[in-house]
Amino acid sequence: MSTTKMGIRKRFLLLLFSAVLLSFVVLSAVMLNSMYRVQDNAVESGQSVGEAAGEFTEALAENHAKQKLLIDVTENAHHADREIADIAENVKYIALDASKILSNPGGYLSRTVKVPGRDTIHSGDCYIVFGADTRKSESWPAIKAESHIASNIADTLEHLSIYYSNYATSCFITSENNYVLIAESFKDEELILPEDFEDTYNPKGNYYWDTLKAGGFFTHIYKDSGGYYGVMCTIPYYVRGKVAGVAGIGIGMASLYHDITSKTVGVSGINFALNQDGVVVFSSVQEGPLAASPQKTDLRYSENGALALAAYEMTEGNSGLVPLTLDGEEYYLAFAPMPVFHWSLGSLARKDEVVSGVQAAKEDVLSLSQGLTASIREFYLGTFRQMAIFMAVIFIVVFFLSQIAANHMVRPLLALTEGVGKIARGDLDAKLDVRTGDELEELSDSVNQMTDDLKLYIENLSKITEEKERIQTELNLARGIQEGMLPDIFPKFAGNPHYDLFATMDAAKEVGGDFYDFYYLGEDRIALTIADVSGKGVPAALFMVIAKTILKNNALAAASRGGAASVDWGKVMERVNRQLCENNEEMMFVTLFFGMVNLKTGEFVYVNSGHNPPLVGRTRGGAVGWQYIRDEKKTHMVGVIEDAQYEEKRLTLSPGDMLYFYTDGVTEAMDGEKHLYTEERLQETLNRVGTPAASVKDVLAAVRADVDGHVGGAEQSDDITMLGIRFLG
The CATH number of residue 326's host domain is: 3.30.450.20
Of 354, 374, 405, the domain-final residue = 354
Which amino acid belongs to residue 337?
P
Do residues 497 and 645 both lie within one domain? yes
Judge if 130 and 250 occupy the same domain: yes
User: In a 3-state reduction of DSSP, which class is residue 175?
Assistant: strand
What angle in degrees, to the nearest 10, is found between the helix axes of 8-103 and 140-150?
Answer: 160
- pLDDT band (50, 70, 90) for residue 187: confident
More confident residue, 445 or 240: 240
At 3 the pLDDT is 47
When comparing pLDDT for 463 and 212, which is higher? 212
pLDDT reading at 406 higher than 60: no
Residue 165 lies in a domain: yes
Give the CATH number, domain containing residue 590. 3.60.40.10
pLDDT band at 358 (very low <50, low <70, confident <90, very high): low
Judged by phi (left if over 0) then psi (alpha if -120 to 50, else beta), residue 208 lies in alpha
pLDDT band at 284 (very low <50, low <70, confident <90, very high): confident
- The larger pLDDT score, comparing residue 457 to residue 567, is at 567
* 237 and 296 belong to one structural domain: no
Is 71 part of a structural domain of the chain? no
- 611 and 708 share a domain? yes
Indicate if 649 and 703 belong to the same structural domain: yes
pLDDT class of 463 with cuts at 50, 70, 90: low
Which of 44 and 502 is assigned the larger pLDDT? 502
pLDDT higher at 569 or 428: 569
More confident residue, 492 or 591: 591
Which H or E element spans position 532? strand 525-533
The identity of residue 171, as a single letter, is C
**Predicted confidence (pLDDT) per residue in 198-223, tens digit:** 778 889 988 898 888 887 666 656 66
pLDDT digits (tens, 9 = 90+) for 548-597: 999 999 999 999 988 888 999 999 999 999 999 998 888 899 999 999 99
Q: Of the ranges 260-269, 508-517, 679-688, which one carries the lowest mean pLDDT score?
A: 260-269
Name which residue leads in pLDDT, 295 or 450. Answer: 450
Q: Are residues 219 and 141 in the same domain?
A: yes
Min mean pLDDT across 348-362, 506-520, 613-627 is at 348-362
Model pLDDT, residue 666? 95
pLDDT in tens, 33-69: 666 666 666 656 666 766 676 577 667 767 877 788 8
Same domain, 170 and 303: no
Q: Are 219 and 247 in the same domain? A: yes
Residue 68 domain flag: no
Higher pLDDT, 661 or 74: 661
Query: Does residue 154 sit within a domain?
Result: yes
Higher pLDDT, 521 or 473: 521
**Within-domain flag for 698:** yes
Q: Which of 317, 332, 354 represents a domain boundary (last residue)?
A: 354
Of residues 374 and 524, more confidence is placed in: 524
For the chain, the domain total comes to: 3
Whether 120 and 269 map to the same domain: the answer is no
300/230 same-domain check: no
**Please, which pLDDT band fits residue 24 given cuts at 50, 70 and 90?**
low
Q: What is the mean pLDDT of residues 452-473?
A: 64
Q: Express as a percent the part of the chain with pLDDT over 90.
A: 40
pLDDT, mean of residues 101-121: 92
Query: Are 103 and 365 spatial neighbours (Cβ–Cβ below 8 Å)?
Result: no
CATH of the domain at 126: 3.30.450
**Residue 298 belongs to what domain range?**
264-354
Residue 144 CB-density burial (10 A; 0-12 exposed, 13-18 middle, 19+ buried): middle
Residue 40 lies in a domain: no
- Assess whether 635 and 719 both reside in one domain: yes
Helices (H) and strands (E) in the chain, counts: 15, 21
Same domain, 166 and 286: no
Q: With respect to residue 161, please indicate whether it lies within any of the assigned structural domains.
A: yes
Q: Write out the H or E segment, with its range, that includes residue 209.
A: helix 206-214
Confidence check: pLDDT of 12 > 60: no
d(Cα 191, Cα 167) in Å, to the nearest integer? 16
Average pLDDT over residues 651-663: 96
Helix 8-103 vs helix 358-424: crossing angle, to nearest 10:
130
Which of these three, 255, 275, 296, is where a domain ends?
255
pLDDT above 60: residue 407: no
Confidence (pLDDT) at 50? 61
Within-domain flag for 694: yes
- 226 has a pLDDT exceeding 70: no
pLDDT at 32: 60
Write down the mean pLDDT value for the chain: 82
